[in-house]
Amino acid sequence: DQPAIVDYTLRPETRGEYTFHDINVFVHAPLKLVRRRFVFEQEQVVKVYPSYFQMRRYQLLAMSNRLQDAGVKKIRKLGHSMEFEQIKEYVRGDDYRTINWKASARKQDLMVNNYTDERSQQIYCLINKGRVMKMPFHGMTLLDYAINASLVLSNVALVRQDKAGLITFEKNLDTFVLADKKPTQMNQVLETLYKQKTDFREADFEKLFSVIRNRITNRSLLVLFTNFESMESLQRELPALRKIAKYHLLLVIFFENTELKTVLEGKTRSLEDIYIKTIAEKFVFEKKLMVKELHKNGIPSILTTPEGLTVNTVNKYLELKTRMSI
């Protein structure tokens, strides 16, 4: 008998922990009248990470300042940041508004304040793991889309010298990763996110505010991934969101229902179709009202399709950073 090596490929389709069970080998007799099964105990649990290639792609684009290749807008920077670096001698071309007159008088020469881009700002991704994030779109849940976008945003923030942190919550706080920019921070975020699941419970935003108030002391950008299916559900959580926005820059991201768009674009052939279209239009219009309601309360928001979530989130982060809103 000659030894043989048999290779086969198995690809896990879902994020989380995947269990490879025992290996079953079936051996036939020469005439194939008898078959025997051998079982080898090789059970092993492996980690299935979310959208690692997408994260690496955005990282490489961010490092080479080519994020616009992925659909990220290039925003012109207005003014300069107010993070002071040093006082230096004036040279032709320096902004005369930065002249330090006291230092100029002491030095008997024109001196200007030199500023540098603000760095090490804290960026937290807040992921709602409640039942509203279990809605499926194209084989992935809203929670999966939020996790992928959080990975990319955290990675881009670290490349931009900001501190990335993470909070996942449901009825209670699930995980809290303190914002930092240490070399192992991205790995910690990745290890935290790959196994996140929902228990189909309602999220408690009041408890979320309590955690943020007690554990995040410096003003930070908080990117909240959640979903609202009705104006009543938004109004229920709005008091807690207003409290959070009082101390931090809160960006609320929620989702368009792309299935409703399919219904609206379909043809109407009966009275029932007209009724269904009317209801769909009501829900679509209500989502737009939610954006206005959040804006009225001083809370920026993004209403996005699940597929456009990552690009829209990175765009908004760069816009807020460029405008020095953080």
For the chain, state the CA radius of gyration.
26
> What pLDDT sits at residue 180?
94
Is residue 244 within 8 A of residue 206, CB to CB? The reply is no
> What pLDDT sits at residue 325?
66
> What pLDDT sits at residue 78?
45
The runs of H, that is alpha helices, within 64-117 are 101-107
Strands (E), 107-209: 111-116, 122-128, 136-137, 140-141, 163-169, 173-180
d(CA 146, CA 45): 25
> What pLDDT sits at residue 55?
65
pLDDT tens sequence for the chain (326 residues): 577 787 878 777 778 777 888 888 888 888 878 888 888 888 888 887 776 666 666 655 554 455 555 555 555 554 444 556 678 888 876 777 888 899 899 888 888 887 655 567 899 999 999 999 988 888 889 999 999 999 999 998 998 889 999 999 999 999 999 999 999 999 999 999 988 888 788 999 999 999 999 999 999 999 999 999 899 999 999 999 999 999 999 999 999 988 888 888 888 888 888 888 888 888 889 999 999 999 999 999 999 999 999 989 988 998 888 776 66
> What pLDDT sits at residue 223?
97
The pTM of the full predicted model, rounded to 2 decimals, is: 0.75
Q: Give which of 15, 16, 35, 17 is closest to 26, Cα–Cα.
A: 35
DSSP string, 249-315: EEEEEEE--HHHHHHHHSPP-SHHHHHHHHHHHHHHHHHHHHHHHHHHTT--EEEE-STTHHHHHHH
Is residue 129 within 8 A of residue 197, CB to CB? The reply is yes
Phi, psi of 108 (to 5 degrees): 60, 30
Is residue 152 within 8 A of residue 58, CB to CB? The reply is yes
Question: How far, in Å, are 147, 204, 216, 296, 299 from residue 239 at the CA level?
Answer: 26, 12, 19, 13, 12
> What pLDDT sits at residue 52?
61
CB atoms within 10 A of CB 243: 17
CB atoms within 10 A of CB 200: 12
Question: Is the Cα dihedral 209, 213, 214, 218 positive or negative?
Answer: positive
Phi, psi of 64 (to 5 degrees): -100, 10
Q: Give which of 216, 233, 322, 248 is closest to 286, Cα–Cα.
A: 233
Strand 44-48 with 16-20, pairing: antiparallel
Q: Give which of 251, 237, 74 is closest to 153, Cα–Cα.
A: 251
> CB under 8 Å to 255, separation ≥6 — which residues?
135, 142, 145, 227, 303, 304, 305, 306, 309
The runs of H, that is alpha helices, within 2-111 are 52-63, 101-107
3-state secondary structure at position 99: strand
